Structure 1
């Protein structure tokens, strides 16, 4: 499946919804357009909710097509559309049925009864989550953000109950009922498969547990994870997963980290820098602790390279996926230049390993960049360091402001967007 086919499926779903709606409600367009459009808004609302479910469900086949960053952006804008439809649906129905009673009285009457309780609760959940998350996004801990999203599953099931009970276009057409059942099974099937069944299956099959915790610098640690038959747990350099450590003080949280080693049959490894409450206590993990791994995810891999000449740009802890993807590239005899940017010397993540790679492989050119001395990295400085950078596929990983600044700067300098590969490694 490719992007075109995915968009086509999405469009076909919308067309079928409008078609089935028209069979029952088009006749109302002259006599009561508010009622007709209110029904349509409700149908599109549920369709967009199911789409949200697929977008946030770490759906493997879809993530391979678009990448996590694009899916997160789709999720955001589809969420905006969902809120619009959520407001339009009850407002239009209230206008359609208000008559001489007045808007407020009719709204209370229509939305206060037991027969619409499922829909009302679903609406409250969606509005609360839809408003709270954008406002508090930067302040929310990852686990709180995660559990808020779980409420959407409840809201969607309640919305389905509301459809079954009161949906005029829904109840009167058996084929339309089947259509919606297919959509719900598809959306929740993908969610259950990728969000829950896959990590549980991998945990059962590979028995992941911590092999050792190794100090990398004063501010970072590497966690080595062993397991059964690791050769069959396949991932690419540059990918990431969500890790849940089943140890007291850790088990109730799951966090995304990039693999900092390439695929092998001995261990998996992540390298974590002390950047917050959770990462600061990562050194307290004990050998033998069981680990649930949800992944791999991400498309920051060699598969996206447009040619055999590569420029890798890593900022700080962004070296973790870059080091892994660099190792795969140089072993494949690609021509690789790596700019490793840090603020200053000392406590540089994986510095010794990167130095050893550069010493061992002549097709890897390592350039260390210290922003405190040399200023902010930009296209002019990149050109001075790697003169043929426009001939290379450019991979960027680091702090989000750095990524955004470099991507816009490189595009302004004449690089095509297709030759600039980046992922923000954020599920939010």
Structure 2
């Protein structure tokens, strides 16, 4: 199994002198608090949808169903209300609120955000189409004539049509096939159109129809929701990152070549001990150098956060990463974060298994360095095509020795398409899996970090081994 014999470092788990129940207690308590918080947030989402429907019905909404045109119009209004409510929740998931990050983690929150895109677009599209049909039936005209009449006669409808067009652009660029062809920065700029789409849709909600008339509960609810989402985005996406950047005054202090195309960037600053960051988390970094300032990089810490420095390790993969190796000492650095639930605080039990590929080893190192792992409680599995792909290996090996962790290194190319496996071809051909490498994996937390497709394969293997979903934690280096 690669270099298993050379790299396995073991220690007796019983050396901690604690019983199994004592070992699980702190981790389980943290998990239960997080689970209760996640349940509360999910309940609030469903309550918001129920409240939207209740406000519509309270405003004599059922009366509209007495006629066929009225039924089309009523269903269209319901689709628009629910779609808009979910779209605002979707924006909150991307607002990087600490409470959402603590409950779900950044990766899972953005995954839900992405999956909500199509349902929201379908609801808004149904709203538009059903209103066209309902109004056309009421006016006894054809749909195309009604579309034009609404565009000309109804206040703010031109802006609403523009908002719908912007929303369509956002959804199209979010499709996997389209997204992978766009540079991250271009995709990011396009996604700001979602904010413009919401703003464009806002006027016609309050100027058309009586549902949001002055003095109604619906008007107060929607104004509160809109202003609340806007405030959250403003505070957590802009104000706090700017203030944090100014306070800590991060600057590049050293650049170390780790391997061909791989280098570490060390940064110093003020009051770094006050940063609320844990090993395994990441920041979004912006290096203020000519030609680089407009690139935003989501890099995990590759060393536990310290009082004097922060460290990230970068592999040249395009998108401005190649130019970072030539940064001048003293270059200013701005940050957003920290983000992610990829920390020892996500654990639900004492045992942990960390699986990494390529540059995905960086958060594993900072997690292991800062985490409260006793002897024999941590197993690290590193996969690489060859020894050149073992980034920061000596650092990892020393850290595993210090922590009395077990380290496995799996070298070799993965199987060709049709035999998908996260393991090298040789191990995959022998039907090896996560459970054969780590027999106790079912009773451990599993941390996975690497490319998206590879990470998905490891997660599926962990599920087949019987690891509960809540014990699987992952970060995928993709957008």
Offset at residue 112 of structure 1 (A) = 4.6
Conserved? CA contact 2:413–2:425, under 8 Å? yes
Q: Output the aligned Cα RMSD.
A: 2.0
Conserved? CA contact 1:24–1:169, under 8 Å? no
Conserved? CA contact 1:307–1:393, under 8 Å? yes
CA pair 8-390 structure 1, distance change in 2 beyond 3 A: closer
CA–CA separation in structure 2 for the residues paired with 1:299 and 1:410: 18
TM-score normalised by structure 1 residue count = 0.94
CA–CA separation in structure 2 for the residues paired with 1:39 and 1:384: 55
Out of 378-387 and 174-183, give the one that drifted further. Answer: 378-387
Is 1:401–2:453 an aligned residue pair? yes
Q: 2:425 aligns with which of 346, 350, 375?
A: 375
Please list every run of 5 or more consecutive structure 1 residues that lacks an aligned counterpart in the other structure. Answer: none
CA pair 170-412 structure 1, distance change in 2 beyond 3 A: same
Offset at residue 386 of structure 1 (A) = 3.2
Q: 2:300 aligns with which of 251, 258, 267?
A: 258
CA–CA separation in structure 1 for the residues paired with 2:426 and 2:119: 38
CA–CA separation in structure 1 for the residues paired with 2:373 and 2:349: 15
Q: 2:354 aligns with which of 312, 326, 334?
A: 312
Offset at residue 257 of structure 1 (A) = 0.7
Conserved? CA contact 1:223–1:269, under 8 Å? yes
Q: 1:290 aligns with which of 332, 335, 344?
A: 332
- SS of the residue aligned with 2:286? strand
Residue in structure 2 matched with residue 415 of structure 1 by the alignment:
467
Residue in structure 1 matched with residue 77 of structure 2 by the alignment:
39
Residue in structure 2 matched with residue 327 of structure 1 by the alignment:
369
Residue in structure 2 matched with residue 349 of structure 1 by the alignment:
391
Q: Deviations over 1:219-243 (max 9, x none)?
A: 2111111110100012111111111
CA pair 173-13 structure 1, distance change in 2 beyond 3 A: farther
Residue in structure 2 matched with residue 240 of structure 1 by the alignment:
282
Corresponding residue pairs, total: 426
Q: 2:141 aligns with which of 101, 107, 110?
A: 101
Q: Deviations over 1:5-60 (max 9, x none)?
A: 11221122112211221214321111211111122222222212211211122222
Residue in structure 2 matched with residue 366 of structure 1 by the alignment:
407
Is 1:19–2:54 an aligned residue pair? yes
Conserved? CA contact 1:25–1:169, under 8 Å? no
TM-score normalised by structure 2 residue count = 0.84
Residue in structure 2 matched with residue 299 of structure 1 by the alignment:
341
Offset at residue 313 of structure 1 (A) = 1.1
CA–CA separation in structure 2 for the residues paired with 1:114 and 1:103: 16
- SS of the residue aligned with 2:299? strand
CA–CA separation in structure 2 for the residues paired with 1:382 and 1:52: 35
Please list every run of 5 or more consecutive structure 2 residues that lacks an aligned counterpart in the other structure. Answer: 1-35, 415-423
- SS of the residue aligned with 2:398? helix
Residue in structure 1 matched with residue 8 of structure 2 by the alignment:
none
Offset at residue 69 of structure 1 (A) = 2.4
Q: Deviations over 1:146-180 (max 9, x none)?
A: 11111111111111112122143112653221111
